Amino acid sequence: MIEDDWWDGTRERRLLVQRCSCGHAQHYPRDLCTRCGGTDLAFAEASGRGSVDSFTVVHRAPSPDVETPYVIARVRLAEGPIMLTRLAGPGPWACDDPVRLGWRPLPDGRHLPIFTKDA
């Protein structure tokens, strides 16, 4: 599955976006290009840079083992796609804040991409 290839990249701490032969970059991984509908897609490594597009601070935990508050954001990657992710580090946060990629390890060896402020 396409998603498996993306998650395999996180094991090596590589953030991958899909690129179509038409030049369009997209995230999350799909079978078709969201611009042209083409199927000539390949993964390319993203720079790990972006900016905060929108965010919210969560104060109510979805389960008792989740520590609050935490910040969920839409980050526009330098390559163009928007990624739903978590912001880490001190606030306050604002839209258009520059961010850079970081990683949070998962128990199975994969890593979850998160973003921190880019000074």
CATH number at residue 96: 2.40.50.840
Q: What pLDDT score does 18 carry? A: 97
Q: What pLDDT score does 95 carry? A: 98
**Token digits for 108?**
């199975």
Residues of the domain holding 108: 2-117
Q: What pLDDT score does 47 carry? A: 98
Number of other residues whose CB lies within 10 A of the CB of residue 67: 6
CB–CB of 6/43 below 8 Å? yes
Q: What pLDDT score does 86 carry? A: 97
pLDDT per 10-residue tile (average), the chain, 119 residues:
92 98 97 97 97 97 94 98 96 96 97 95
Q: What pLDDT score does 44 carry? A: 97
The total number of structural domains that make up the chain = 1
